[in-house]
Amino acid sequence: MPIVEGATYRPPFGLGEGHLQTIFPALFRRVALVTPERERIETPDGDFLDLDWSRGSRGGRLVVISHGLEGDSRNACVQGMAAAFKRAGWDVLAWNLRGCSGETNRLLRSYHSGATDDLATVLEHVPPQYTQIALVGFSLGGNITLKYLGDAGTAVSPRISAAVTFSVPCDLASSALALETAANRIYMAHFFGSMRQKVRVKMSMFPDAVSDKGLDAMRTFREFDGAYTAPMNGFASADDYWQRASSRSVLHRIAVPTLLVSAANDPFLPEQCLPKEEAQASNAFYFENPRSGGHVGFVSFNATNEYWSETRAVAFVEAV
């Protein structure tokens, strides 16, 4: 029954509220670049992925980090996690989802919550010298990580030893609905700012397939995913995309030790995204539900600038 009881996270004084935890790192956290070595690899369908590396530990251990919606490999949460694993003696690979590295991808398709084929391409590229691979994913990248592991089940590569994910919308439909509330408008405005730009770039590349008609009036993921994410990535509708890409339906198949940490005060995640029953029934999937932490927050103040989530991730993968 791997529900982790007695979560140890305690927020700093005055930063316990969910929105504060969510916004504070985005506005104020600064982390030095830990993964400066960029490598471009080709995908089987003729596109490319940009990977950022930190190597040199010589220990045969590698952590692969997946970022969240409209993020990239150089976000503070990714680099903070990279720094924590580097201090623990791991090499780091932080990869950019399609179109997120600063250069638009070649094909019509985009990144999305179910893009497990791209994670598979990254893992297949990892050199054989790495005999122990840990996966870490944030939010959308966490859903990709969990979906990849659930789809693979017991056939997952023996090199993958553990995984840790944070603030995962593992039920995409309920999370999309939660983000439509008035309290979350600030986040939607942020996401839509960059998403609209990416649509218009794709429209310039594929004018017969992409139109920006009605784009400026869109305010919800149902509208955006129905008009763009679904048709550009082979789904019939927003509902079809959410159902097929959500990781919750395959959590019971995960076969390597995997931890999902989601805060009880995460403004993006309703009860449907807190998979307690799956954890209770599993021998490999662990769920931890701290009272505070917001969405990819878990702010901590200390001499190393290491957040609680980073300490927790390293501790979990090294313990298992």
Q: What do you get for the CA distance between the two ends of the chain, in Å?
A: 16
Which one of 67, 295, 300, 309 is the catalytic residue? 295
Which one of 139, 262, 282, 309 is the catalytic residue? 139
pLDDT per residue as tens digits for the range 146-198: 999 999 999 999 999 999 999 999 999 999 999 999 999 999 999 999 999 99
C-alpha gyration radius of the chain: 18
Give the pTM. 0.97
Any catalytic annotation for residue 295?
yes
Task: Please check whether residue 115 is in contact with residue 97, taking contact to mean a CB–CB distance below 8 angstroms.
Answer: yes
Bridge partner list, 4: 288
Q: What is the pLDDT of residue 28?
A: 95
Any catalytic annotation for residue 91?
no
Which one of 50, 118, 171, 266 is the catalytic residue? 266
Q: Is the pLDDT score of 126 beyond 80?
A: yes
Q: What is the pLDDT of residue 97?
A: 98
Task: Please check whether residue 33 is in contact with residue 102, taking contact to mean a CB–CB distance below 8 angstroms.
Answer: no
Q: Is the pLDDT score of 15 beyond 90?
A: yes
pLDDT per residue as tens digits for the range 210-255: 999 999 999 999 999 999 999 999 999 999 999 999 999 999 999 9
Long-range contacts of 271-278 (CB under 8 A, 24+ apart): 271/174, 272/171, 272/173, 272/174, 272/175, 272/248, 273/168, 273/169, 273/170, 273/171, 273/174, 273/175, 273/248, 275/170, 275/248, 275/251, 276/3, 278/248, 278/251, 278/252
Task: Please check whether residue 148 is in contact with residue 116, taking contact to mean a CB–CB distance below 8 angstroms.
Answer: yes
Any catalytic annotation for residue 266?
yes
Phi-psi region of 14 (alpha: psi -120 to 50; beta: other; left: phi over 0): left
- Extract the tokens encoding 212: 């920006």
User: Is 261 strand, coil or helix?
Assistant: strand
Domains of the chain: 3-171+246-319 (3.40.50.1820), 172-245 (no CATH)
Q: How does the average pLDDT of the chain come out, rounded?
A: 97
